Amino acid sequence: MTEEQLKQLIKQGESQTLDFKDGRIHPRSLAETLAAFAAADGGVVLLGVSDEGEILGVSDFKKTRDNIIYEAASRNHCDPQIQPIELERIETADGKTVIAVTVPADYETLHSVNGKFFMRVGTHDAALTPQELRRLVFSRGEVSFERLPCENATLGDLDDKLINRYIRRHEEYTGQILNLSREQFLINIGCAIKRKDEVLPTNAGILLFHANPQLYILQSQLICVRFKGKDVIEYLDRKEFLGPLPELVNQATNFIKSHMKMGGRVPGIKRVDYPEYPEAAFREAIINAVIHRDWSIDGGFIRVFMFDDRIEVISPGKLLPPITVEMLQRGEADSRLRNPAIVEVFDKLGGYIEKIGSGVRRMIDAMIEHNLEHPHFKLDGDILKVTLWGPGERFMELVQKDIPKDLLENLNDRQKEALKYAIKEGFITNKIYREINKVSNKTASLELKDMAEKGLVKIYKRGRATKYIPLN
């Protein structure tokens, strides 16, 4: 680093990843900063720079390196010691020495300083409370919330029908009959744990096999809202879904389908349904939220918001390192499992996970194949939001794009409009034809008959009512 680069760095000011220390710092104080950086995103400490950004320099490079930096990072202050750290010596034109100490993020280990743990928050090194430390450990996947025993629950609280259904699916998947007791099977898949002489359900067991997990884990309900327009001011429908996790996925999927536009396309002559969003994309987003969220976060619900132009799936929990939002955006993130027991059950149940680790890529491909934008991923603190942008006003254009040109060429403009209407609504009548095109009953009858003779619609009569239905 040159002196000019050093000055540019100082000009940025202290931040989440940059700290200034003068040369008189005590090793223990430096150790707190090193540990805080390692626990967060890593960072750089500039030794020999005042809090105000003035270059003071260190009096002796070797003593500062050995007696302060190396001592701070050693087991005398950090447990376990912080390594590796990178040192860079910068000399200024006026003979001052600054030492840049670079600390990488350490996603595998938490370092304590004199029994306390620190996290870099903004420009400060914050000592973590026991509750904050617990949250951090869960969020990093170092301790699994799903495998902890569920407080005040017993094995008898689990639903035998749900367990037996899963056992049958598991046997079908593996092709082997399970010769295990109910208790041992649940222990083996991480849904129960033996404590002393008692077998207790884990949090995963309650979430997957209790008829109403929300009695024990309140944050396991899932909220779906269909808003009016493009903002959250007014809603048209709101549901709070309860039940085991697989059922939450099914209920949220059906909620979206019930509020989603459905049109018809005619590739060739056959009419096929054309949905506003590909089910593979929004169902995958919901599944990912359910199986990968941080279930230890109290009061945080999975939310599925539907607007006129988009669907948002919002779930509590940071990404597990080293996965980043950028990796998700590129579809390159291998799945690191925060909840392996939950994922395993979803996998064996069938119909939820095609291949572990491929969900994000499948979501992206489904949107692209549907002529929609690439999904957007955003992490805001402890909240991950996946946005699926819909076609909006382009929906009718996409619905109609596959009508064969040669067929349209043989229709007049009135018939073209009528065919588009029939494909969108599933049928058209003589009356509707007249209203759309402002023509007489005779003209409407002749032109609809012509469309039927060309094989574009079929005539459906029931009593006195006659409908013209796009050919299936």
Cα dist from 133 to 119, 139, 165, 335, 359, whole Å? 9, 10, 38, 24, 31
Q: pLDDT digit string (tens) for 343-374? A: 999 999 988 887 766 789 999 999 998 889 99
Mean pLDDT of 432-460: 92
Mean pLDDT of 150-174: 93
**Greater confidence, 150 or 83?**
150
Residue 94 within a domain = yes
Does position 10 have pLDDT exceeding 90, yes or no?
yes
Least confident of 20-29, 172-181, 271-280: 271-280
The pLDDT, as a whole number, for residue 142 is 64
Residue 363: half-sphere exposure toward Cβ, Cα within 13 Å: 30
Among 5, 10, 12, which Cα is nearest to 21's? Answer: 10
Residue 364 within a domain = yes
Tell me: do 377 and 412 sit in the same domain. no
The pLDDT, as a whole number, for residue 49 is 96
Tell me: do 228 and 352 sit in the same domain. yes
Does position 455 have pLDDT exceeding 50, yes or no?
yes
Q: pLDDT digit string (tens) for 364-419? A: 999 998 889 999 999 998 899 999 999 987 776 666 555 666 667 788 999 988 98
Does position 136 have pLDDT exceeding 90, yes or no?
no
Residue 269: which pLDDT band, with cuts at 50, 70 and 90?
very low
Tell me: do 303 and 368 sit in the same domain. yes
The pLDDT, as a whole number, for residue 335 is 60
Tell me: do 162 and 276 sit in the same domain. no
Q: pLDDT digit string (tens) for 114-123? A: 899 999 988 9
The pLDDT, as a whole number, for residue 219 is 95
Q: pLDDT digit string (tens) for 302-345? A: 999 999 999 999 999 888 877 889 999 988 866 678 899 999 99
Domains of the chain: total = 4
Does position 179 have pLDDT exceeding 90, yes or no?
no
Tell me: do 335 and 348 sit in the same domain. yes
The pLDDT, as a whole number, for residue 357 is 66
Give the CATH number of the domain where residue 411 resides. 1.10.10.10
Render the burial of 142-167: b for 16+ CB within 10 Å, e for the rest. eebbbbebbeebebebbeeebbeebb
Tell me: do 325 and 200 sit in the same domain. no
**Greater confidence, 464 or 3?**
3
Domain boundary among 161, 195, 215: 215
Going 296 to 325 to 276 to 274, the CA torsion angle's sign is negative
**Greater confidence, 264 or 177?**
177
User: Which of helix, strand or coil describes residue 222?
Assistant: strand
Give the CATH number of the domain where residue 372 resides. 3.30.565.60
Percent of the chain past pLDDT 90, that is, above it, reads 65
Element (DSSP H or E) covering residue 163: helix 160-174
Q: pLDDT digit string (tens) for 61-103? A: 999 999 999 999 998 999 999 988 899 999 999 999 999 999 9
The pLDDT, as a whole number, for residue 34 is 95
The pLDDT, as a whole number, for residue 416 is 87
Percent of the chain past pLDDT 70, that is, above it, reads 92
The pLDDT, as a whole number, for residue 310 is 97
State which residues form the domain around 118.
3-128
The C-alpha atoms of residue 211 and residue 220 are separated, in whole angstroms, by 12
Residue 29 within a domain = yes
Residue 448 within a domain = yes
Residue 100 within a domain = yes
The pLDDT, as a whole number, for residue 331 is 86
The pLDDT, as a whole number, for residue 381 is 81
**Greater confidence, 374 or 107?**
374
Give the CATH number of the domain where residue 17 resides. 3.30.950.30
The pLDDT, as a whole number, for residue 334 is 64
Tell me: do 372 and 310 sit in the same domain. yes
Cis omega before residue 104 (within 30°)?
Answer: no
The pLDDT, as a whole number, for residue 382 is 85
Residue 271: which pLDDT band, with cuts at 50, 70 and 90?
low
Tell me: do 230 and 261 sit in the same domain. yes
Tell me the average pLDDT of the chain: 89
* Residues 252 and 453 sit within 8 Å (Cβ to Cβ): no
Residues 6+ apart with CB under 8 A from 446: none
